[in-house]
Every structure is written in structure tokens, then in C-alpha cells.
Amino acid sequence: MPKESYFKNYFSIINTALNSIHADKLIDISSLIEKTVKSKNKIIFVGNGGSASIASHLTVDCINAAKIKSINFNDPSILTCFANDYGYENWVDKALECYADPGDLVILISSSGQSKNMIVGANKAKSMDVNIVTLSGFSSENPLRQLGDANLWVDSKSYNAVEMTHHIWLLAIVDYIIEKNRGV
């Protein structure tokens, strides 16, 4: 395959993934975020690997650009403490137990939707009256996708396509909230 064709095809796949969501779903999630902000609660972003990087970026943009109280669990000391003491599959559960309050919103990001720690965390959030948004890909029947109050799913088995789509969708939501608050 010629180099130009590879990249044209690659970007076409990403474009298709980005445009696969109806804007109403993104608006619904922005409404959940705004409801959380109005009740003086916080947004909690959680992910593994590349999704943890997305969680970090979104936390920074929410805090700095959108003035939304947000946190993420990317501190190696917290992760390794909870994973060591409670098992890796339970670290999100334990982090939510320590940091989440009823009325908060947790955004769980897992490319496959199969990450046991995210599934256990979603169940913990439900038990704590914490609202849940999930972002996943791969199988439309993945277990994480079944647990959110709102769920964004990418029809792809490519980690990079799924992660880039999640990232852009979430950044678009933050930018939408910023513009909406400016009255634009």
C-alpha cells in the first residue's frame, strides 16, 4: 500500500469513528457535567494506560479552561498502594470509596470495556450514588457499556482509533461547555 493511501485510509477510519455519534449523546453528557457542577460536586476521570493519559488531559482542561472541579487517579503512589493492598481489579473501587461523594460524576474510560477495575469501579459508583459515564470500544456488548448512566461507544477494535475518538469526544464536550458558558 502506498504511504499516501495508508494515511488517507487511517484518517478516514478516525473520521468515521468521530462522526459515528449523534450530537445529542454529547449534549446529554455535557448536561450531566453541568448538573454536577451546579450541585457543587466534582468530576472524576479514570482510565488505564492511554486512557489514563486522556483522564489527565481532561482533568486539566476541566479545571483550567472550564473552571470545573475535577480529579483523576494517576498518582503512582495511590495506584500502587491500592493495587497492592486490595488487588488491581479493586483499585478504582477503593479510590472512589476514598474520594467520591454522592452526586459526583465518574467518567470511566476503557478501550475494550473489559477492564475489570473499571467494571468494579462502576459498580462501586452505583452503590455510592455517583453518576457514571463510560467510554469504550471493541464489542458493543462489552460489560462496562452496560453500567453507565450515559455511554459512548466506538465501533472499532483498534486501540488508537478508540482512544483518539474518546479523547476528541471528551474535549469537544469541554469546549461545548466553555462556549455555552460564554454565551456563544
183 pLDDT above the threshold of 80: no
Under 8 Å between Cβ of 162 and 174: no
Cα distances (angstroms) measured from residue 106 to each of 25, 68, 102: 17, 13, 11
Q: Which residues contact 60 (CB under 8 A, 6 or more apart)?
A: none
Select from 87, 1, 58 the least CA-distant residue to 73. Answer: 58
182 pLDDT above the threshold of 90: no
- Comparing 108 with 182, the larger pLDDT belongs to 108
3-class DSSP assignment, residue 133: strand
Select from 142, 90, 83, 85 the least CA-distant residue to 121. Answer: 90
51 pLDDT above the threshold of 80: yes
- Comparing 181 with 41, the larger pLDDT belongs to 41
3-class DSSP assignment, residue 68: coil
3-class DSSP assignment, residue 28: helix
184 pLDDT above the threshold of 80: no
Cell of 159: 486501540
Helix, strand, coil percent values for the chain (each to nearest 5): 60, 10, 30
pLDDT score recorded for residue 156:
95
pLDDT score recorded for residue 4:
82
pLDDT tens digits, one per residue of 109-134? 999 999 999 999 999 999 999 999 99
3 pLDDT above the threshold of 70: yes
pLDDT tens digits, one per residue of 137-150? 999 999 999 999 99
pLDDT tens digits, one per residue of 68-107? 999 999 999 999 999 999 999 999 999 999 999 999 999 9
DSSP structure class, residue 115: -
pLDDT tens digits, one per residue of 22-37? 999 999 999 999 999 9
The residue whose grid cell reads 497492592 is 84
- Give the CA dihedral 45, 139, 154, 34, nearest 10 degrees: -40
